Structure 1
Amino acid sequence: MTEQDTRTAAPRRPGPGRDAVPVPGSGRPGTGARVRRRALRAALLTAAALPVGTALWIGVTGVLARSEMLAAQRDLDGLRHPAAADRTPGTAREQLAAVRSAARHAARAHRLTGGPAWYAAALLPVAGDPVRTVRGAARAADRLTGQVLTPLADALPAAAPDGRGGALAEALTALRRSAPRLVRAAGVADEVRAEVHRLPAATWLPAADRARAGLSRQLDRLAPVLTDVSVAARVLPPMLGVQGERHYFLAFQNIAEARGTGGVPGAFAVLRADRGRLSFERFGNNTEMTAAGADPGLGAEFAARYRGADPTTVWANSNMSPHFPYAARIWSAAWQRHTGERVDGVIALDPVALSRFLGATGPARTADGTVLTAQNVVDLTERTSYAVYGDQTRRKAFFVEAARAAAARLMSAADDGRTLPGLLLAAYGAEQDGRLKVFSAHAEEERLLASRPYGGVLPDAPGPFAGLVVNNAAGSKLDYYLDRSLLWDARGDDCSGGGHPVTVTVTLANRAPAGLPGYVTLREDAPPYRTRPGDNRLLVSYYASAGALLAGAELDGRPALLSSGTERGHAVFTLDLELPARSRRTLVLHLLEPRADHTPVLLRQPLVTPLRAVLKPGGTCRA
């Protein structure tokens, strides 16, 4: 063995490029600590930058989303109404293009506000409120344009470019085919409306609050319209004879003499509907129906409420109740007793509704050359005719002729593709005013009609309610000159008396001028006290919430005694009131309501002059 072989090899220190096991504490002093400090600084800087970056991202995308939302709003502002009267083929295409453009902008706004940054920021308490509002508003606008307005625009038929017949039949077929889509769209609109109402309304960012408030107002207007359209899509086709012939009793209400549903029933007609073709089989006046009373069995409550007025036997009193289905059932039964014919439903309208229709169709002309227009039909039928036709028989004949002329004009317009959309829009306006009411003798159709204003139903749901109803008790035609106002004030918060205090102030004014025809100022009630021409007498009924109590009342500042009753669950308080010509009387009711912490449902009785109503909801009761 050589010397080299027998030497012991010295251990080698690890060097660069050589594999080695690291030794704790090896290397230059402080190296590990510096590495850890650098890592910690990087982590802290990253953590600090995240909120700034998130805020910057939300700010930039928020500005872009706002631009998209404004663009969508501009598109929708160009639409007067989703069922606008001017739906010529060209206009319909433009409106559909505007809806689709709005849908694209709203979808982009929704995408811009839908990322993880927006989601996380919306979860922050207080600080995240406007983020949650903007994010929710963008999502709501996307659903509104894409799932509601687009299918609605596709479903509604356009006006025909010419005057070919059969327009109503074609529209009913299209409406029936579109009914499922319209029902879905109405359901989505209700969902979106509820979602927007749940969004924060008062945040630290006013712009977000304004956006939510504007969208909420739009949805509050649109959702009921869509529900009305969806109901119409289900009931109009069968009611207008798509599945077989139908017949309806149509009553023209004379609002110069007030009744619960509007005016006293005057002229009438029988409407025939067969596969969308409308025609009138008969016209008549109230004299023919005087002895045609019939009792359809409206229950003990109805009998007790109207005992003495005999609404099932006295034709002029048949619609004293504001609940239209009561009058409709009485009229249907009376017609069957009078003729042996059953009808499939009842329709009621008044001269204001006729003026709406004539505004869409153009003037109508009676056999004697009288021209009926949207501007003169109310005055002509409710005032002028009483001076022109002194003889009662001639006057009633004029009313029938006016109804016949207007009906013929309406039938012609309904069959004309150019005028039908405007006529349908006029009908919708009259329904919303309560001046066109519809009842069906078919249970499922009536169930749907009863859920909407045009069903004329006195609602029986619990909650705050306010309704002023007057019935003419003089037999005069002086309600043409009647003004009504209602102030409902629940601002009191002392509920120690067992309910929420509500003060209702009713003001009635008689503007009847001197020199009116005798038939207008007639006093068929033959009062035991002295009256002058133009003095009126009214049964004034206030419909309160279910369970409401009357704590006291004053008439013109003096204690007044009112009778009480119930109708469809509502507490009803009634005063027999003499209303002299050119006088004003004020009735104040002090009520204890079960709940009055939000605005009540308001019943508006349609007369010549609309009711002026002010509702002042209060706050939470204190014991």
Structure 2
Amino acid sequence: MTHPGWGEKWAETPALTVEEPEPGETAGPEPLDPGPDGYRRPPSDRNWVRPPRERVPFWTQRRRTALRAALWAIAALALLLGLVVAWVVYDAVRARAALADAARGVAALQADALEGRVANLDERVARLREDARAAHDATHGPHWSLARELPVAGPSVVAISTLTEVVDELARGPLPELARSVELTDPAAFAPVDGRVDLAPLEKVAPDVVRADESVGLAAQRVARLDGQMLPQVRDAVGRLGAQLQSLRATTATAARAADVLPVMLGSEGPRDYLVLVQNPAEPRALGGIPGTVLQLRADEGKVTLTGQMSGGMMGNYKEPVLPLTQDERVMFGRQDELARWMQNVTLTPDFPRAAELAREMWRLETGKEVDGVLTADPVTLEALLRGGGPVYVDEGRVEPGDLSEYLLNGVYLEHEDPATQDAIFAGVAEQAFARLSAGRGGERNMIEALVVAARQGRLLVWSGDEAVNRRLEGTALDGSLSGVRGDSPVVGVFTQGINMAKIAYYLDTAVDVRVIGERPDGSRELAVTVGYTSKVPEDQVATMPERLLGYGEENPGQIRLRSLVYAPAGGWITGAEMDGKETGLTPKKQGELSVASRDIKLSPGATASVTYVMITGKHQSGDVILRVTPGPRPADITISDADPANAE
């Protein structure tokens, strides 16, 4: 039956028929065979029918969706981190170049400050600021903040950012201030005019210099606190900048102390009187030598005048110690209280503040005059101060400045046997030297360099009756205190006392070698300190040498007799000693809290002697070893090394 409107075409459509199955057959379509891909296909027809999907539980579908999302998130995060790392690396390369330029600028400014150069100062400061800012900007931003949190790269990123921050902060503040102070504190500005030093420039820059020193100190601490597993290149950069900041801090600390202390010491707040102990290292004492000449100076508003002078040999023998001595001092420096009964023996103690107190009291007893402080100097320092000037005149003619120390320490005794004549020559040389220095004819830059070298060698020491001044000097080369430790650095003392009452030690050379031979679990270290002495006495001239040089009543003329004193660091002790390769006994002593070993040595002309002391430092003294040595007629040959394989380069 068809619909009338379907038309003829639909009317011709055959009717649907259903064939009955034969007996034994199953009704329905032909069975489908499974194909290799798991789908079923008719064996004789290439057309195939997809089987119905297997129903997957809801929680399984959800887990698969979450896994796919996590994988995409990880891929996106990895891509993001890769971009961040690439960006950080790119910026780090830029920062490295800018930081290197800034570091060179810092070094140049430091050199300018030390040399007093002021040309192109503004241009140099501007370039430093530009380089420092470029390094800072290249290592800051959101990507650097993200990189800081990475577990492996984080410490290196933090270190790089900190380095650029430190240099940028220094470039924007204290370094330019310190550099500009050079314009006002040029050494030529300190040349005395009519015997007076103009203190105004130094007083003007003092606040800036002190502030700069504090900033450099804080910057050095920030860099020192950086730790963690850094890349080798970053750790090297941290070490280099740390070392540079330590060097810069030494400069700024000295400048800050000078700016703070010098005006007061030179009388900006009222007159100040000082003793100057001119030591003679040809007759050794721990601090250098016997005070052969003692001067009194007065400083008033920058004007320094010589107000008194006396031979050191004229002060003593006092019946009683001028100040009470401790039991340690009596044992260390003679039971007859020589330390406090003779001016020429106050330098037996290597503790300069103690020697200064004794000298001041002796001067008061002799002259009735109080002084505000005590300084030391010697002919080696005097020669360096006068170098570049004309000759010094003495009774028999003239002495060139370059020959002055040799003449005062040796020549005067060879040419004049009378002690009174010798004292008169010393007094005349002192007056000429003071007149030249106060007139500014010693060469200002040479004078400052000479004073720096003298302080480093222990020839120039300063003590004040004003404790505020002493606190500013504490820990510097000018201090001379017997502390045994400075910061975290162990201080080893190697001092020489002459036993001969003679000037024969002019021919004594000293060498000191300090080696770190072990690290201990408690942070202390084991040191080997080798002290070598060599006699340069010309044997063929001994017979013609005067007794003043050889010593009165010497059984073996030409022999140098001395006592070697070695001080262990604070909290440490001396465990043993060897002399010329053989174990030797020691005379253990103590001065205050410091362990001391002493050894008497005799040297024939041309002979040598060597003693090695093994000692333990105090706990947690990890800084560089500091060595104090008695300054002799010639600088000691000093070597300090780290022999520990773990620390060897």
TM range (shorter): 0.7 to 0.9
Whether the aligned pair in 2 keeps the contact of 1:386 and 1:519 (CA below 8 Å) is no
446-455 or 166-175, which moves further after superposition?
166-175
Q: Is the 8 A contact 2:185 2:202 kept in 1?
A: no
Distance apart, 1:39 and its partner CA: 9.1
Q: 1:305 aligns with which of 332, 341, 356?
A: 332
- 2:350 pairs with 1:295: no
The separation in 2 between residues aligned to 1:37 and 1:334, in whole angstroms, is 92
Q: Which structure has more RCO (C-alpha within 8 Å, separation ≥ 6)?
A: 1
Return the offset for 1:285: 2.2
Aligned equivalents of 1:437, 1:391: Cα separation in 2: 31
Given the superposition, is the C-alpha separation of residues 558 and 211 from structure 1 closer, same or farther in structure 2, using an over 3 Å criterion?
closer
Give the whole-Å Cα distance in 2 for the aligned partners of 1:167 and 1:449. 29
* SS, match of residue 194 in structure 1: helix
Distance 1:162 1:447 in 2: 27
Report whether the alignment pairs 1:219 with 2:282. Answer: no
Contact 1:83–1:425 under 8 Å retained in 2: no
Task: Using the TM superposition, give the Cα deviation of residue 57 of structure 1 relative to its aligned residue in structure 2, in angstroms.
Answer: 1.8
2:530 paired with 1:508:
no
The SS at the match of 2:500 is: coil
**Residue matched to 1:32:** none
Partner Cα separation in structure 2 for residue 300 and residue 161 of structure 1: 49
Deviations 1:380-429 (A, max 9, x none): 22233332334332222222222222221111118x9xx54553343233
The offset of 1:600, in angstroms, is 3.3
Match of 1:253 among 279, 286, 296: 279
Which has the larger displacement, 333-342 or 164-173? 164-173
Partner SS state of residue 289, structure 2: strand
2:393 is the alignment partner of 1:392: no
Alignment-mate amino acid for residue 607 of structure 2: S
Say whether the 8 Å CA contact 2:504–2:551 is kept in structure 1: no
- Displacement, 1:344? 0.9
In the alignment, structure 1 residue 439 sits paired with structure 2 residue 463: yes
Aligned equivalent of 1:22:
none
1:315 corresponds to 2:339: no
Whole-Å Cα distance in 2 between the matches of residues 457 and 289 of structure 1?
A: 24
| Residue 182 of structure 1: how far off its partner (Å) | 2.1
Alpha-carbon shift at residue 318 of structure 1 (Å): 1.4
**Conserved? CA contact 1:605–1:611, under 8 Å:** no
Cα 1:37–1:437 change in 2 (3 A) is closer
Q: Is the 8 A contact 1:96 1:153 kept in 2?
A: no
Aligned mates of 1:121, 1:144 — CA distance in 2? 25
Q: Distance in 2 between matches of 1:320 and 1:477?
A: 16
Counting only pairs closer than 5 Å after superposition, residues 173-572 of structure 1 correspond to structure 2 as 173-200=200-227, 203-206=230-233, 208-291=234-317, 295-308=322-335, 310-359=338-387, 362-366=389-393, 370-373=398-401, 375-413=402-440, 419-420=443-444, 422-461=446-485, 464-492=490-518, 501-514=526-539, 515-516=541-542, 517-519=545-547, 521-524=549-552, 530-531=555-556, 533-572=557-596
**Structure 1 CA distance for aligned equivalents of residues 569 and 103 of structure 2:** 40
Q: Which amino acid aligns with 1:64?
A: R
3-state secondary structure, aligned to 2:348: coil
Q: Percent identity?
A: 26
Deviation at 1:37, TM superposition (A): 12
Determine the structure 1 residue equivalent to 2:631.
Answer: 606
Residue type at the aligned position of 2:376: A
CA distance in 2, matches of 1:562, 1:434: 27
Distance verdict in 2 for CA 1:74–1:500, change over 3 Å: closer
- Contact kept, 8 Å, 1:346 with 1:438, in 2: the verdict is yes
Find out whether 1:124 has 2:157 as its counterpart: no
Gap runs ≥5 in structure 2 = 1-64
* CA distance in structure 1 between the partners assigned to 2:332 and 2:381 by the alignment: 29
Give the residue type in structure 2 aligned to 1:149. Answer: L
How far apart are the structure 2 equivalents of 1:567 and 1:96?
A: 53
Distance in 2 between residues matched to 1:428 and 1:161, nearest whole Å: 16
Q: Which moved more, 1:461-470 or 1:474-483?
A: 461-470
CA distance in 2, matches of 1:168, 1:79: 32
> Aligned partner of 1:120: which letter?
L
Letter in 1 for 2:305: S
- Amino acid in the other structure paired with 1:318: V
TM-score by length of 1: 0.82
1:295: how far off? Answer: 1.6
TM-superposed CA distance for 1:199, in Å, is 2.6
Q: Secondary structure at the match of 1:253?
A: strand
Work out whether residues 190 and 198 of structure 2, in 8 Å CA contact, stay in contact via their aligned partners in 1: no
